[in-house]
Chains A and B, each alone.
Chain A
Amino acid sequence: MKRWIIGLFLFFLFFVPLWVQGKEEKEITLYLFHGDGCPHCAAELEFLDSIQEEYPTLTIKKYEVWYNDENAELLSKVEEAFSITRSGVPTTIVGDTNIMGFGSGSDIKIRNAIDYYLEHEYTDQIAKIQDGTFVKEDLHSEAFQKEEEKSDESLSVEMPVVGNVNLKNISLMSAAVIIGLIDGFNPCAMWILLFLISVLIGMKDKKRMLLIGLTFLFTSAFVYLLIMLSWIQIAVKITTIIWVRNLIAVVALIGGFVNLRSYIRSRNSSGCEVVDDKKRKTIFHKIRKFTHEKRLLFALFGVIVLAISVNMVELACSAGLPLVFTELLVLNHTSSIMKFFYTLLYIIFFLFDDLVVFFIAVFTMKITGISTKYNKYSHLLGGIIMLLVGVLLLIKPEWLMFQFK
């Protein structure tokens, strides 16, 4: 019965959102004026292709202006209408906003502009230029500009030696380190590692112990990474749908309450809760079977299968913080590479306490536990973070994007 519930939970968490497509119903058009052979244009074209799936209601219209006179004429009309003095390609227009060139940070600016017009008043000014109904007084390019300046000011600080520092990057990096570390101390999968180490110590073969133990740890980390990355892929598509965001907030709130309840229950005592008998016996049996396997390759294969299955089963127990963290990344529109980087950072710190226990065991051939008081604090801090993110998602999502003005 319990397995069914967990299965159902995983299904809803990871697969149902796959068919939930699209952002808002609102349709907007992005115009790109580009030249054939211009490298910045090529980079922007590639970028726009990569985000098309993410914004199903966004139409991207591309106008080549170096070899097409008609398009070039349209561009000069647009430049005149938008009072663009420094003409050139690529020129991007969304609503009342024009973005010149495509360099570092342009991807974020374009995304911000799309997001802005998805949520604010939008007029297709280019269509108006084309059908001759454009009125300069109706152009409000300052609206988005003001929004951008507001967030730029609040996000950049001048620091001695290193120069201009983006607070968003620092905040996300700190979040990865702190939440990863807290998540690492959650007891969901720690007991299996201790099980494994105990059996490996009995074999008194350091090399074999290192190989099997590290294979278990890194496979677990890899599975966790894949789960988080796939969740990011999905969340990127659906997070701006307001009810999905609210649903994630509710999941975070429930997770927060469950964690705080665990903390309160175990506040006055510290010890290990006995893991359910059947599950413990199955895992214990599997561990013994493959650690006694003489052929190393078979043993390694066994440990990989165990690590994958354990992490899938324990996911229901530990999904709260990864969910909250990936939501933070998605809300902040970090680039794909940075999302990967932050998630990797999270995983490294998530692995930290397991690696400490494991290496102490390898070098001293003694198994050391990590006091259950750390599990308690993991529940407390994890619970607070989940509650906080849940509440902010509901009432002040912009704070999670580090925009406090």
Chain B
Amino acid sequence: MKIVKIGAIWCGGCLVMNKVWNQLQKNYDFEAIELDYDMDEEEVLQYSPGDILPVFIFYNGNQELFRMIGEHSYQEMEEKLKEVL
């Protein structure tokens, strides 16, 4: 199980989600990959993130399962994560 998070330092919503993201990592066991929209530009492009940040891309192995875009509560993220774990 892998989740790729694409955020940016200039995005208030991404910063708000940092807390949720850290909490998820603490409570669940998954591979967490964090990418910055500006610093990791080339890598980010491979994921075609769209124009709303942050983007959370859920993977099972190499297969993309779904994406969660924008701000979400911890409960919402946890619920989705539980579905695929």
Contact = CB atoms under 8 A, between A and B. Distances in A.
Interface in A136-176: none
A195 B10 contact: yes
B71 A274 contact: no
Contacts of B38: 280-281, 284
Contact of B15 (A280, A367, A373, A375): A367
Nearest to A372: B13
15 contacts: A195-B10, A198-B10, A270-B13, A270-B70, A271-B11, A271-B13, A272-B12, A272-B13, A272-B14, A367-B9, A368-B16, A369-B18, A371-B12, A372-B16, A375-B12
A216 B9 CA distance: 18
A275 interface: yes
B12 A190 contact: yes
Nearest to A275: B10
A63 B37 CA distance: 72
Contacts, number: 75
Interface in B1-28: 8-16, 18
Contacts of B84: none
Contacts of A373: 71
A274 B12 contact: no
A190 B54 CA distance: 16
A371 B10 CA distance: 12
**Contact size range, A:** 20 to 34
A321 to B, nearest CB: 19
A271 B52 contact: yes
A272 B52 CA distance: 5
A274 B44 CA distance: 13
Contacts of B51: 273-274
A194 B11 contact: yes
A370 interface: yes
Given A194-B10, A274-B51, A274-B52, A368 B70 contact: no
A273 B52 contact: yes
Given A270-B70, A272-B53, A284-B38, A371 B9 contact: no
A274 B14 contact: no
B81 interface: no
A104 interface: no
Given A198-B10, A270-B71, A367-B15, 4 more contacts: A194-B10, A369-B12, A369-B15, A370-B16
Given A369-B16, A370-B16, A371-B16, A272 B11 contact: yes
Nearest to B53: A272
A336 B70 CA distance: 45
B69 interface: yes
Nearest to B18: A369
A66 interface: no
